[in-house]
A and B are shown apart, each in its own frame.
Chain A
Amino acid sequence: MAQPLVKKDDDRDDEADYSPFLGIEKGAVLQEARVFNDPQLDPRRCSQVITKLLYLLNQGETFTKVEATEVFFAVTKLFQSKDIGLRRMVYVMIKELSPSADEVIIVTSSLMKDMTSKTDMYRANAIRVLCRITDGTLLTQIERYLKQAIVDKNPVVASAALVSGIHLLQTNPEIVKRWSNEVQEAVQSRAALVQFHALALLHQIRQNDRLAVNKLVSSLTKGSVRSPLAQCLLIRYTSQVIRESANTQAGDRPFYDFLEGCLRHKAEMVIFEAARAITELNGVTTRELTPAITVLQLFLSSSKPVLRFAAVRTLNKVAMTHPMAVTNCNIDMESLISDQNRSIATLAITTLLKTGNESSVDRLMKQITNFMSDIADEFKIVVVEAIRSLCLKFPLKHRSLMNFLSNILREEGGFDYKKAIVDSIVILIRDIPEAKETGLLHLCEFIEDCEFTYLSTQILHFLGIEGPKTSDPSKYIRYIYNRVHLENATVRAAAVSTLAKFGAMVDTLKPRIFVLLRRCLFDNDDEVRDRATLYLNTLGGDGAVVQTGEDVKEFLFGSLDIPLVNLENSLKNYEPSEESFDIYSVPREVKTQPLAEKKAPGKKPTGLGAPPAGPPSTVDAYEKLLFSIPEFANFGKLFKSSAPVELTEAETEYAVNVVKHIFDGHVVFQYNCTNTIPEQLLENVTVIVDASEAEEFAEVASKPLKSLPYDSPGQTFVAFEKPEGTPAIGKFSNMLRFIVKEVDPSTGEAEDDGVEDEYQLEELEVVAADYILKVGVSNFRNAWENMGADCERIDEYGLGPRESLAEAVNAVIDLLGMQPCEGTEVVPNNSRSHTCLLSGVYIGNVKVLVRLQFGLDGPKDVAMKLAVRSEDESVSDAIHEIVASG
Chain B
Amino acid sequence: MLLAILVSNSAGNILLERFNGIPSEERLHWRTFMVKLGADNLKGARNEELFVASQKSVYIVYTVLGGVCIYIVGKDEYDELALTEVMFVITSSIKDACGKSPSERLFLEKYGKICLCLDEIVWQGILENTEKERIRRLIGLKPPNPTEI
Contact A19 B123 (CB under 8 A): no
Q: Is B143 an interface residue (CB 8 A)?
A: yes
Q: Is A876 an interface residue (CB 8 A)?
A: no
Distance (Å) between the CB of B87 and the closest chain A CB?
9
Contact B53 A269 (CB under 8 A): no
Contact B109 A59 (CB under 8 A): no
- Stretch of A50-58, A594-602, A702-710 on the interface side: A50-58
Contact A121 B142 (CB under 8 A): yes
Q: Is B58 an interface residue (CB 8 A)?
A: no
Contacts of A89 in B (CB 8 A): 112, 116
Contacts of B141 in A (CB 8 A): 84-85, 87-88, 119, 121-122, 125
* Interface SS majority for chain B: mixed
Q: How far is the CA of A88 from the CA of B137 in the complex (A)?
A: 12
Q: Is B32 an interface residue (CB 8 A)?
A: no
CB interface residues, A 189-240, toward B, < 8 Å: 190-193, 197, 229, 232-233, 236
Contact A166 B138 (CB under 8 A): no
Contacts of B139 in A (CB 8 A): 88
Contact A229 B105 (CB under 8 A): no
Using known A-B contacts A16-B103, A47-B112, A119-B141, determine if residue A305 contacts B17 with beta carbons closer than 8 Å: no
Using known A-B contacts A16-B103, A58-B16, A232-B82, determine if residue A156 contacts B109 with beta carbons closer than 8 Å: no
Using known A-B contacts A88-B139, A309-B80, determine if residue A19 contacts B105 with beta carbons closer than 8 Å: yes
Q: How far is the CA of A344 from the CA of B51 in the complex (A)?
A: 10
Contacts of A59 in B (CB 8 A): 14-17
B18, B105, B149: which contacts A20 (Cβ < 8 A)?
A: B105
A54, A160, A166: which contacts B112 (Cβ < 8 A)?
A: A54
Contacts of B134 in A (CB 8 A): 156
Q: How far is the CA of A60 from the CA of B29 in the complex (A)?
A: 13
Q: Is B67 an interface residue (CB 8 A)?
A: yes
Contact A88 B27 (CB under 8 A): no
A47, A88, A155: which contacts B140 (Cβ < 8 A)?
A: A88
Q: How far is the CA of A91 from the CA of B105 in the complex (A)?
A: 26
Q: Is B96 an interface residue (CB 8 A)?
A: no
CB interface residues, B 94-141, toward A, < 8 Å: 103-105, 108-109, 111-112, 115-116, 119, 123-124, 126-130, 134, 138-141
Contact A167 B124 (CB under 8 A): yes
Contact A156 B138 (CB under 8 A): yes
Contacts of A125 in B (CB 8 A): 141
Contact B81 A269 (CB under 8 A): yes
Q: Is A120 an interface residue (CB 8 A)?
A: yes
Q: How far is the CA of A20 from the CA of B82 in the complex (A)?
A: 33
Chain A residue nearest to B143 in the complex (CB): A120
Q: Mark A162-181, 1 if CB is under 8 A from B, else 0.
A: 01001100000000000000
Contact B129 A310 (CB under 8 A): no
Size of the chain B interface, CB-CB below 8 angstroms: 50
CB interface residues, A 29-83, toward B, < 8 Å: 47-48, 50-51, 54-55, 58-60
Q: Is A501 an interface residue (CB 8 A)?
A: no
A-B CB contacts (within 8 Å), total count: 138
Q: How far is the CA of A5 from the CA of B111 in the complex (A)?
A: 11
Q: Is A446 an interface residue (CB 8 A)?
A: no
Q: Is B91 an interface residue (CB 8 A)?
A: no
Contact B149 A155 (CB under 8 A): yes
Chain B residue nearest to A121 in the complex (CB): B141
B27, B77, B127: which contacts A60 (Cβ < 8 A)?
A: B27
Q: How far is the CA of A166 from the CA of B54 in the complex (A)?
A: 26
Contacts of A21 in B (CB 8 A): 108, 111
Contact B116 A60 (CB under 8 A): no
Q: Is A306 an interface residue (CB 8 A)?
A: yes
Distance (Å) between the CB of A376 and the closest chain B CB?
8
Chain A residue nearest to B40 in the complex (CB): A376
Q: Give the one of B31, B50, B67 with max A CB within 10 A.
A: B50
Q: Is A132 an interface residue (CB 8 A)?
A: yes
Contact B67 A20 (CB under 8 A): no
A60, A167, A191: which contacts B14 (Cβ < 8 A)?
A: A60
Q: Is A664 an interface residue (CB 8 A)?
A: no
CB interface residues, A 228-256, toward B, < 8 Å: 229, 232-233, 236
Contacts of B119 in A (CB 8 A): 91-92, 95
Q: Mark A821-842, 1 if CB is under 8 A from B, else 0.
A: 0000000000000000000000
Contact A51 B112 (CB under 8 A): yes
Contacts of B103 in A (CB 8 A): 15-16
Contacts of B85 in A (CB 8 A): 229, 269
Q: Give the one of A54, A160, A229, A307 with max B CB within 10 A.
A: A54
Using known A-B contacts A54-B111, A306-B84, determine if residue A92 contacts B142 with beta carbons closer than 8 Å: no
Contacts of B3 in A (CB 8 A): none
Using known A-B contacts A125-B141, A341-B51, determine if residue A233 contacts B108 with beta carbons closer than 8 Å: no
Q: Is A646 an interface residue (CB 8 A)?
A: no
Q: Mark A658-691, 1 if CB is under 8 A from B, else 0.
A: 0000000000000000000000000000000000
Chain A residue nearest to B131 in the complex (CB): A193
Q: Mark A813-857, 1 if CB is under 8 A from B, else 0.
A: 000000000000000000000000000000000000000000000
Q: How far is the CA of A124 from the CA of B135 in the complex (A)?
A: 13
Contacts of B130 in A (CB 8 A): 193, 229
Q: How far is the CA of A163 from the CA of B129 in the complex (A)?
A: 11
Q: How far is the CA of A190 from the CA of B16 in the complex (A)?
A: 35
Contacts of B111 in A (CB 8 A): 20-21, 51, 54-55
Q: Is A279 an interface residue (CB 8 A)?
A: no
Contacts of B104 in A (CB 8 A): 16, 19
Contacts of B52 in A (CB 8 A): 305-306, 309, 341, 343-344
B14, B81, B112, B138: which contacts A268 (Cβ < 8 A)?
A: B81
Contact A305 B50 (CB under 8 A): yes
Contact B112 A343 (CB under 8 A): no
Distance (Å) between the CB of B81 and the closest chain A CB?
5
Distance (Å) between the CB of B36 and the closest chain A CB?
10
Contacts of A273 in B (CB 8 A): 81
Contacts of A309 in B (CB 8 A): 52, 54, 80
Q: Is A272 an interface residue (CB 8 A)?
A: yes
Q: Mark A133-171, 1 if CB is under 8 A from B, else 0.
A: 000000000000000000000111001100100110000
Contact B77 A272 (CB under 8 A): no
Contact A306 B61 (CB under 8 A): yes
Contacts of B16 in A (CB 8 A): 55, 58-59
Chain B residue nearest to A120 in the complex (CB): B143
Q: How far is the CA of A58 from the CA of B79 in the complex (A)?
A: 24
Contact B67 A128 (CB under 8 A): no
Distance (Å) between the CB of B47 and the closest chain A CB?
15
Distance (Å) between the CB of B109 and the closest chain A CB?
5
Chain A residue nearest to B6 in the complex (CB): A58
Distance (Å) between the CB of A816 and the closest chain B CB?
38
Q: Is A6 an interface residue (CB 8 A)?
A: yes
Q: How far is the CA of A397 from the CA of B31 in the complex (A)?
A: 44
Contact B17 A60 (CB under 8 A): yes
Q: Is A363 an interface residue (CB 8 A)?
A: no
CB interface residues, B 1-56, toward A, < 8 Å: 14-18, 27, 31, 41, 49-54
Contacts of A50 in B (CB 8 A): 112
Contacts of A124 in B (CB 8 A): 138
Contact B115 A58 (CB under 8 A): yes
Q: How far is the CA of A755 from the CA of B36 in the complex (A)?
A: 66
Contacts of A6 in B (CB 8 A): 109
Q: Mark A304-332, 1 if CB is under 8 A from B, else 0.
A: 11110110010000000000000000000
14 new A-B contacts, CB < 8 A, other than A121-B141, A156-B138, A306-B81, are A19-B104, A54-B112, A58-B18, A122-B141, A159-B129, A163-B123, A163-B128, A190-B149, A193-B129, A229-B127, A304-B50, A307-B81, A309-B54, A313-B80
* Sampled A-B contacts (7; CB under 8 Å): A6-B109, A21-B108, A85-B141, A92-B116, A197-B128, A272-B81, A310-B81
Q: Which 3 A-B pairs have the closest CB atoms?
A: A51-B112, A121-B141, A58-B16
Give residues in A with beta carbon < 8 Å to B: 5-6, 15-16, 18-21, 47-48, 50-51, 54-55, 58-60, 84-85, 87-89, 91-92, 95, 119-122, 124-125, 128, 132, 154-156, 159-160, 163, 166-167, 190-193, 197, 229, 232-233, 236, 268-269, 272-273, 304-307, 309-310, 313, 341, 343-344
